[in-house]
C-alpha cells in the first residue's frame, strides 16, 4: 500500500475556461500533473458561477474526458473560488492554558482556530479560510509557530476569508450536479500563489497578480502572510472587447488577433506592418489593422488595469514592503511585453509566474500562466492530505470515447476551447491573406 500513488483532482472554474486536472505525488514529494482537460466556460461571469446547471455540463464533460484519458475514476475534487464577494477580515483570539509548564501543543493552536470559526458574520456570509497571521505567548509577539513553547496565555491573530453564501452554494451545486463532491473550496489567489511563488518572495513581500478572462485577482504577501486580497472586475475579456469594438471584428476574431499579434507596449509594435483579415461576407472588403494601433488599444486598457492594481497594493498597507515586487500570472499575462509595461508603470521588479516551476515530470503542456490556479489547487489538495490524513478514493475506468470533448493537450490541430485558443484559426486565415508581412510575426503566446 505504501507504493500506491496518492491522487488529487482539482477543478478551476474560470470565467473563460473550466479546467480539470489530476495530479499525483512522486517519491520525492513533488506534485506531478497526470493529465488535464479544458473547455470553454458556460454560466460563469466575472469569476462567479451564475448558472450552476450550464456550468455543471461543462464540468461533467471535462471530468469525463479526463477520467477517460487517465483511466482513473474519482468523485471528490478541490475547487477554486473567486469574485468580488470575497473579502478578508482580521480577528484575534486567546486561551489561558491550565498547565503553563507544559509545551504548547497543536491542539492548543487548534482551539484558537476553532474559536475563529464561531465569529459573528452578517447574514448571507460564510467563512472560506481561517489563516493565521502570528501568535503571542505570554506577551511575546510575532511568533510564527508557538508549538513547543512554554506559556500560560496563548493569543492568535488571524485573517478570516469570507464570501457570499449564495455564491458558494452555486459553486457547490455546479459540482454536485456534475456528480462530484467538493472536498474543499479554496481561494483562487491562494492556490495560484502556491503554484508560482517562492517562500523567499512571500517573506520579502510580493504582490501576486492573476489576470484571468473576466477578473484580475490580487494577493499581497508580507512576512509569509496573506495580508490583502482583492478582485478587479476586468481581465482579458475586456481587452478583447476593446479590440472588437475599435476594429469592427467579431469577438472570436478579436480574441485571435489579440493573442496572435497583440502587444502591451505600443512602442514595440512595427507601425509599418498590418494584419489583413479577409472578408467572409460577399461585398465586404478585407480589414487592415495596424500593429501599432492594435498595441495602442491593448496598452490603454492594460494601463487602466495596472492603475487599479496599484490602488489595491497601496490599500494593503504593505506597499513599501514588497521586496520581491510583482509576479504576474494567469492567461492575460501571456501578452507580449506585458512584463515591461508593468515595470514601467509600477517601477517595481516584475516576473511572469509559471506553474511548472514547482512540478515534477513532464511540464511542457501545463507550464503556462493560465494553468497557475489549477496547479495550485492540486498542491493545496496534497497539503490537505497531509493535514487531515485523507486519501482520495480512485478506481479504474473503462476507456470510452467522450463525444465532443477533446483534451487541449492532445492534438495541436484541434480548435482550442480555452481562454487563449491555439493557432488553428489564423493558420486558415493565412491561406487567404490578401496582403502579407515582410517578416512572419511571432505569436504572443
Q: What is the pLDDT of residues 72-81, one digit of tens each?
A: 999 999 999 9
Q: Which phi and psi (to 5°) does residue 256 adopt? A: -65, -40
Q: How many domains does the chain have?
A: 2
Q: What number of other Cβ atoms are within 10 A of residue 182's Cβ?
A: 18
The CATH number of the domain where 117 resides is what? Answer: 3.30.1490.110
For residue 279, tell me if it sits in a domain.
Answer: yes
For residue 338, tell me if it sits in a domain.
Answer: yes
pLDDT at res. 409: 42
pLDDT higher than 50, residue 421? no
For residue 359, tell me if it sits in a domain.
Answer: no
Instruction: Give 407 or 332, the one with higher predicted confidence.
Output: 332
Decide which of 164, 187, 209 is a domain's last residue.
Answer: 164
Question: Using one digit for the tens of pLDDT, what is the confidence trace for 290-309?
Answer: 999 999 999 999 999 999 99
| Torsion angle, alpha carbons of 101, 102, 106, 111, to 10 | -60
Decide which of 164, 182, 215 is a domain's last residue.
Answer: 164
Question: Using one digit for the tens of pLDDT, what is the confidence trace for 352-376?
Answer: 999 988 898 888 899 999 999 999 9
For residue 42, tell me if it sits in a domain.
Answer: no
Beta bridge partners of 187: 81
Residues 136 and 248 in one domain: no
For residue 169, tell me if it sits in a domain.
Answer: no
Q: What's the CA gap between 429 and 278, in Å, rounded?
A: 7
Q: What's the CA gap between 268 and 42, in Å, rounded?
A: 36
Residues 155 and 220 in one domain: no
Q: What's the CA gap between 377 and 444, in Å, rounded?
A: 27
Residues 203 and 329 in one domain: yes
Residues 245 and 116 in one domain: no
- Which range of residues forms the domain containing residue 129? 87-164
pTM recorded for the entire structure: 0.84
For residue 152, tell me if it sits in a domain.
Answer: yes
Q: What's the CA gap between 73 and 62, in Å, rounded?
A: 13
- Residue 62 CA, distance from chain mean position: 18
Q: Are 397 and 66 in contact (CB under 8 A)?
A: no
Residues 213 and 144 in one domain: no
Question: Using one digit for the tens of pLDDT, what is the confidence trace for 159-216?
Answer: 999 999 999 999 999 999 999 999 999 999 999 999 999 999 999 999 999 999 889 9
The CATH number of the domain where 239 resides is what? Answer: 3.30.420.40
For residue 323, tell me if it sits in a domain.
Answer: yes
Instruction: Give 309 or 393, the one with higher predicted confidence.
Output: 309
Question: Using one digit for the tens of pLDDT, what is the confidence trace for 115-149?
Answer: 999 899 999 999 999 999 999 999 999 999 999 99
Q: What's the CA gap between 377 and 62, in Å, rounded?
A: 16
Q: Per residue, what are the HEC states of the chain?
A: CCCCCCEEEEEEECCCEEEEEEEEECCCCCEEEEEEEEEECCCEECCEECCHHHHHHHHHHHHHHHHHHHCEEECEEEEEECCCCCEEEEEEEEEECCCCCCECCHHHHHHHHHHHCCCCCCCCEEEEEEEEEEEEECCEEEECCCCCCECCEEEEEEEEEEEEHHHHHHHHHHHHHCCCEEEEEEEHHHHHHHHHCCHHHHHHCEEEEEECCCCEEEEEEECCEEEEEEEECCCHHHHHHHHHHHHCCCHHHHHHHHHHHCECCHHHCCCCCEEEECCCCCCCCCEEEEHHHHHHHHHHHHHHHHHHHHHHHHHCCCHHHCCCCEEEECHHHHCECHHHHHHHHHCCCEEECCHHHHEECCCCCCCCHHHHHHHHHHHHHHHHHHHHCCCCCEEECCCCCCCCCCCCCCCCCCCCCCCCCCCHHHHHHHCCCCCCCCCCCCCCC
Residues 302 and 437 in one domain: yes
For residue 264, tell me if it sits in a domain.
Answer: yes
**Where residue 101 falls among pLDDT bands split at 50, 70, 90?**
confident
Max Cα–Cα distance, the chain, nearest Å:
89
Choose among 256, 294, 291, 263: nearest CA to 424.
Answer: 256
Choose among 14, 62, 132, 69: nearest CA to 373.
Answer: 14
Amino acid at each position: 500500500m505504501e507504493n500506491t500513488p496518492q491522487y488529487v483532482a482539482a477543478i478551476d472554474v474560470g470565467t473563460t475556461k473550466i479546467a480539470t486536472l489530476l495530479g499525483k505525488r512522486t517519491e520525492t514529494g513533488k506534485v506531478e500533473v497526470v493529465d488535464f482537460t479544458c473547455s470553454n466556460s458556460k454560466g460563469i461571469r466575472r469569476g462567479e458561477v451564475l448558472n450552476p446547471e450550464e456550468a455543471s455540463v461543462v464540468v461533467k464533460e471535462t471530468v469525463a474526458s479526463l477520467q477517460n484519458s487517465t483511466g482513473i475514476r474519482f468523485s471528490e475534487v478541490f475547487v477554486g473560488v473567486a469574485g468580488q464577494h470575497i473579502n478578508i477580515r482580521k480577528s484575534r483570539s486567546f486561551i489561558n492554558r491550565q498547565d503553563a509548564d507544559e509545551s504548547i501543543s497543536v491542539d492548543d493552536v487548534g482551539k484558537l482556530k476553532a474559536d475563529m470559526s464561531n465569529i459573528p458574520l452578517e447574514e448571507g456570509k460564510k467563512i472560506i479560510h481561517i489563516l493565521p497571521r502570528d501568535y503571542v505567548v505570554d506577551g511575546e509577539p510575532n511568533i510564527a509557530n508557538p508549538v513547543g513553547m512554554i506559556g500560560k496565555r496563548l493569543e492568535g491573530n488571524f485573517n478570516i476569508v469570507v464570501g457570499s453564501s449564495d455564491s458558494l452554494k452555486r459553486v457547490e451545486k455546479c459540482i454536485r450536479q456534475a456528480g462530484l463532491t467538493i472536498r474543499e473550496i479554496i481561494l483562487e489567489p491562494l492556490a495560484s500563489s502556491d503554484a508560482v511563488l517562492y517562500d523567499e518572495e512571500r517573506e520579502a513581500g510580493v504582490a501576486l497578480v492573476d489576470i484571468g478572462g473576466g477578473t484580475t485577482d490580487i494577493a499581497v504577501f508580507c512576512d509569509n502572510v496573506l495580508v490583502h486580497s482583492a478582485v478587479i472586475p476586468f481581465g482579458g475579456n475586456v481587452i478583447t472587447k476593446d479590440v472588437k469594438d475599435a476594429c469592427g471584428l467579431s469577438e472570436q476574431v478579436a480574441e485571435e488577433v489579440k493573442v496572435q499579434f497583440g502587444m502591451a507596449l505600443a512602442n514595440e509594435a512595427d507601425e509599418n506592418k498590418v494584419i489583413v483579415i479577409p472578408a467572409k461576407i460577399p461585398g465586404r472588403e478585407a480589414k487592415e489593422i495596424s500593429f501599432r494601433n492594435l498595441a495602442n488599444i491593448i496598452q490603454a486598457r492594460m494601463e487602466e488595469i495596472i492603475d487599479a492594481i496599484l490602488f489595491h497594493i497601496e490599500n494593503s498597507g504593505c506597499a513599501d514592503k514588497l521586496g520581491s515586487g510583482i509576479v504576474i500570472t494567469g492567461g492575460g499575462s501571456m501578452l507580449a511585453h506585458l512584463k515591461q509595461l508593468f515595470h514601467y508603470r509600477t517601477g517595481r521588479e516584475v516576473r511572469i509566474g509559471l506553474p511548472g516551476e514547482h512540478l515534477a515530470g513532464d511540464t511542457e503542456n501545463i507550464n503556462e500562466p493560465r494553468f497557475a490556479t489549477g496547479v495550485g489547487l492540486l498542491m493545496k489538495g496534497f497539503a490537505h492530505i497531509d493535514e487531515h490524513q485523507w486519501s482520495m478514493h480512485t478506481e479504474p475506468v473503462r476507456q470510452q470515447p467522450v463525444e465532443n470533448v477533446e483534451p487541449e493537450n492532445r492534438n495541436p490541430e484541434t480548435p482550442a476551447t480555452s481562454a487563449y485558443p491555439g493557432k488553428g484559426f489564423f493558420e486558415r486565415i493565412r491561406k487567404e491573406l490578401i496582403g502579407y508581412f515582410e517578416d512572419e510575426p511571432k505569436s504572443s503566446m
